Structure 1
Amino acid sequence: MAGERSETGAPPARTGISAARADPGARRQGHAADLPGALVARVLDRHERPFPHVAEKNTAAIALHERLGFTGRKHVAFRGSLVP
């Protein structure tokens, strides 16, 4: 599973690549790289700029995105909430 989220702004538009997940039984088979790679290709086809959303402590995801050619640029605070 993987997702994308669009952001408004000056051209080229930016699209975040996020929520790439692989089933634990399917790990170490390249699926986690295939999913963001496919999303990046789709974003580039629309002439937008892809960027990953990765939690700072998720070193495996950071390493994956670096292998895909991304570099760290900006640290942001993730905030979440639970729906009662």
Structure 2
Amino acid sequence: MTVMNIVLSVIDIILALAIIVLFLVQEGNDRGIGVVAGGSSDSYYSKAKGRTLEEQLKTWTVICSVLFAIVSVVLYLSIARAW
């Protein structure tokens, strides 16, 4: 393996671990049957605070996923074509 393949492999592994951690840190959207009944005990502040953090986590998950896909394709091409 060339140095470029090793570097791409390490970046690929780091991105994969980042995606796993970001996915596990996110809260689920499942609020149970209370959503159907209309019951909600959350205040506006807690909703807005959670949404902001949740949106940031979702954004970083998407960014890491796209980078992971790009690096994986480049790594595959570099190994297959022996760059």
The structure in which a higher percent of residues are strand is 1
TM-score (norm 2): 0.27
The structure in which a higher percent of residues are helix is 2
RCO comparison, higher one (Cα < 8 Å, 6+): 2
Structure having the higher Rg: 2
